[in-house]
Amino acid sequence: MDVDLKSAETQFALELIQAGSELARRVRAETSIRSIIKPDHSPVTLADMSIQALAGALLEKYLPEAVLVAEEDTDHLKTPEGAEDLEKVTVYIHSFFPQATSGDICRWIQRGQGQPTGTFWTLDPIDGTKGFLRGGQYVTALALIQNGKVELAAIGCPKLDLQDHKALGKGVGIFAARGQGCWSASLGGLKELKNWVRLEVSRCREISEARVLDSFDPEHKNVEKDRRIRKELGIQPEPIVLDSMAKHVVLASGGGEIFFRTLPRKEPSHREKIWDVAPGALAIEEAGGRVTDLEGRELDFSAGITLARNPGFVATNGLLHEVVLEALQQATKS
């Protein structure tokens, strides 16, 4: 692994996914986990808010001038109804920063409201919140973006074990840097170079044998269209259904060949949030795969908090990309 684990950027990224995964496990182990429904009707948990606070605190430690663009804010925590939740978040953060006040925590969370221009970090503290609540897969996902391109990514996967790397056990961290490959280690061993193994995509060339990774949440897909695409491609294996960016990690590690997200029938103008795509996209590319939008264009992360110039998302092992794109484009026209 030809990566400087001592650089401030790498230390920040690895410490965040390790601490974030530990915190998420702790929250998940509680008997009563509840979600708060945001104005866009998506759920958020105290784990989301706590991990974003961790990110703000660790940036102050390692990269005080850095910009963070993240999913959560403090609107709920600053209401009378949110006071108790703020106290709980403060307790969680005290395990890592014992002197933190509620004011510190709100400031650290709000740091995620940075502007997505030039060089910045983007974070999804809990990607796959519904999976987290249900006991399925979820991840903490972080990426460094410079001038519209993802340069570094780190993903903490507390519940994932990799089919071809069973020795790592359940709970893995992923690190990818542009031009330096995609790597994985046990979440407990991220600080030692010797613990990392290189990930590579599958070398499958037969489309009929390809394994499609699919979202668990039906709201994230057009079920009928996706089924038609698989039939048109002649794909025989049943889809591998997972929550969160764990799908990207499985593809990068050779556990599947194809993942795509078509446009929702009810919302054809939908565009993905950058924090939902950037970390996994770099992991797949650095493992030897290919990532584009539905029209075959490279993803452009310079258009704000969404991939405004890129409809949909297609990731493959690279060898099958053109045939998948052709089928997707045909399905889009029909």
Task: Report the CATH number that the domain containing residue 291 is assigned in CATH.
Answer: 3.40.190.80
Residues 6+ apart with CB under 8 A from 177: 3, 151, 152, 153, 286
Within this chain, do residues 24 and 149 fall inside the same structural domain, yes or no? yes
Within this chain, do residues 221 and 154 fall inside the same structural domain, yes or no? no
* Residue 67 placed within a domain: yes
Within this chain, do residues 239 and 153 fall inside the same structural domain, yes or no? no
* pLDDT at residue number 333: 67
* pLDDT at residue number 267: 82
Within this chain, do residues 31 and 166 fall inside the same structural domain, yes or no? yes
* pLDDT at residue number 70: 97
Q: Give the CATH number for residue 160.
A: 3.30.540.10
Final residue before a domain boundary, out of 154, 169, 198: 198
Within this chain, do residues 239 and 168 fall inside the same structural domain, yes or no? no
Angle of helix 321-333 relative to helix 223-233, nearest 10 degrees, comes to 130
Q: Please count the structural domains in the chain.
A: 2
Within this chain, do residues 19 and 111 fall inside the same structural domain, yes or no? yes
129 is catalytic: yes
48 is catalytic: yes
Task: Split the chain (334 residues) into runs of 10 and give each run's mean pLDDT.
Answer: 84 97 92 69 86 98 98 93 94 96 97 97 96 94 97 98 95 97 96 94 97 82 80 91 97 97 84 97 98 97 97 96 93 68
Cα separation, 143 vs 139, in Å, equals 13
* pLDDT at residue number 5: 78
* pLDDT at residue number 40: 65
Q: What are phi and psi of 8, to 5 degrees?
A: -60, -40
**pTM to 2 decimal places:** 0.95
Tell me 30's DSSP state. S
Cα separation, 17 vs 158, in Å, equals 9
Structure tokens at 45: 């948990």
Within this chain, do residues 300 and 167 fall inside the same structural domain, yes or no? no
Catalytic option among 10, 45, 90, 129:
129
Helix, strand, coil percent content, the chain, rounded in steps of 5: 40, 20, 40
* pLDDT at residue number 218: 66
* pLDDT at residue number 264: 78
Within this chain, do residues 141 and 175 fall inside the same structural domain, yes or no? yes
Catalytic option among 10, 45, 48, 243:
48
* Residue 2 placed within a domain: no
Structure tokens at 202: 């599958």
* pLDDT at residue number 228: 86
Question: Where in the sequence is the domain holding 284, given as residue range(s)?
Answer: 207-333
* Residue 211 placed within a domain: yes
Provide the 10 A C-beta neighbour count for residue 167.
9
Final residue before a domain boundary, out of 140, 163, 198: 198
Within this chain, do residues 326 and 296 fall inside the same structural domain, yes or no? yes
* Residue 43 placed within a domain: yes
Within this chain, do residues 193 and 326 fall inside the same structural domain, yes or no? no
